[in-house]
Structure 1
């Protein structure tokens, strides 16, 4: 049975239907947030996430929404605000990988536009909409407010066979810094969480390739990252204790991005 606490903090997680997004939604629920989440498909996976959030004793709302459809952002956010009253924590998690891995000299404009349309354009304009909402609904003495973007080690590590994905993720550190500067005076913490190689449905197709490379030391911790590792980082950033670190990046990659001789 979920609690209906009128003063509960509310989190909004994009791409929360499964994988890292679901783990983040559940982490925030265990920390006392009611959780709304969006995804492109409403199915049994989305329903399972709703049920798992409610099993944590919190309210849950799923809104079917495609992040690349910028014109729909307002409608989705209005539905969430009508349900929650306000959004206190916003997590940019939704994203897509390269449709086809291959030589960047063969990259098509269609693939480029599809990935940038979700991972950058959609993310920017949804963040803009939530930031406007947060500024318009400031609550004296209310919960900590935060915007957290889940990017990737590909924000700085180049993978030529996934050029459009790398380009889309490399823009998120700047998005974080820009919104951190714009919102700092209002006490809204803005952060980037940068995962490494995480065991998710998105990485299932290349799991064997990575298993072999872990044995060779690709990741200093010599294991997969788990969705719960990323979720734990988001939870710490959301609680307001690191607000003065606004604009910061937290690497969650087992040491993958550390340069070594």
Structure 2
């Protein structure tokens, strides 16, 4: 079995997930780079990870899988075990935005169902698959405990009436963190929530001008966009074990957005 700790990062082919994967690579981890359909982007992410990696024994392998599918979730874990021989941490990053932003008086049930299956059920039950592997197989870990990170959003607590389905899915995911943290607290498995704010990714590329103005106007006290690196640095710190007595903790990666101020 490899002596290098392995992290499965869902949705790691681009955006925030790619930023997390690169920071983990720099930190000496091997990364299973999950992607849904864009193999080319996943290979690009793997190459960037290899370029950042300090150790020759680190591995970066694209792992195809649709987190909204039960069979695919199980196959993803098996692929990681087959390719790497172990799994030490899971980062539940993958998620989707609604295809059409619609007022909640007009939004479709189809969009709601799609977002809940991908953004909430997917990570909730992928966590179940991975946690049960650890509980049943009882493998050794190299980092003094296993780690699970859920990437949520400020939409967990900030209402956007044209993205109700997204907000509900992320609010549910925040509760999932609390549930899994409570269940696994005495099993040497720590669970954390990273809650990003307004982040510069392809998901927000269509609203850049809008948020540029809002950020400059003080919506984000630090007056800048968040980046994939910002999120990656936080994920690496958690997986490194820097917060061993803080399971269930929410860490805001939002430039101070969450501060209530006049």
TM range (shorter): over 0.9
Structure 2 residue 115 is the aligned partner of structure 1 residue 119: no
Separation (CA, whole Å) in 2 of partners of 1:259 and 1:151: 20
Ranges in structure 1 where 5+ consecutive residues have no aligned partner: none
Tell me the TM-score normalised to structure 2 length: 0.94
Give, in angstroms, the shift of residue 172 of structure 1: 1.5
Q: Answer yes or no: is the 8 Å Cα contact 1:187–1:243 preserved in 2.
A: no
Separation (CA, whole Å) in 1 of partners of 2:38 and 2:154: 29
Q: Answer yes or no: is the 8 Å Cα contact 1:17–1:45 preserved in 2.
A: yes
Aligned to 1:60: 60
Aligned to 1:248: 249
Aligned to 2:172: 171
In structure 2, relative to structure 1, the CA distance for the partners of 1:123 and 1:141 (3 Å cut) is: closer
Instruction: State the secondary structure of the residue aligned to 1:244.
Output: coil
Q: Answer yes or no: is the 8 Å Cα contact 1:104–1:163 preserved in 2.
A: yes
Report 1:125-164 matches (<5 A).
125-140=125-140, 142-143=142-143, 144-164=145-165
In structure 2, relative to structure 1, the CA distance for the partners of 1:33 and 1:214 (3 Å cut) is: same
Aligned to 2:37: 41
Ranges in structure 2 where 5+ consecutive residues have no aligned partner: none
Root-mean-square deviation over aligned CA pairs: 1.3
Aligned to 2:25: 29
Aligned to 1:105: 105
Q: Answer yes or no: is the 8 Å Cα contact 1:14–1:94 preserved in 2.
A: yes
1:86-123 superposed Cα distances (whole Å, 9 cap, x missing partner): 21110000000122112110011101011111000111
| Paired positions, count | 257
Aligned to 1:51: 47
Q: Answer yes or no: is the 8 Å Cα contact 2:39–2:62 preserved in 1.
A: no
Q: Answer yes or no: is the 8 Å Cα contact 1:157–1:257 preserved in 2.
A: no
Separation (CA, whole Å) in 1 of partners of 2:193 and 2:141: 25
Separation (CA, whole Å) in 2 of partners of 1:18 and 1:140: 30
Give, in angstroms, the shift of residue 50 of structure 1: 1.1
Aligned to 1:205: 206
Bigger shift: 168-177 or 57-66? 57-66
Report 1:228-247 matches (<5 A).
228-247=229-248
Aligned to 2:259: 258
Q: Answer yes or no: is the 8 Å Cα contact 2:6–2:88 preserved in 1.
A: yes
Separation (CA, whole Å) in 1 of partners of 2:164 and 2:140: 44
Give, in angstroms, the shift of residue 140 of structure 1: 4.8
Separation (CA, whole Å) in 1 of partners of 2:39 and 2:177: 31
In structure 2, relative to structure 1, the CA distance for the partners of 1:66 and 1:91 (3 Å cut) is: same
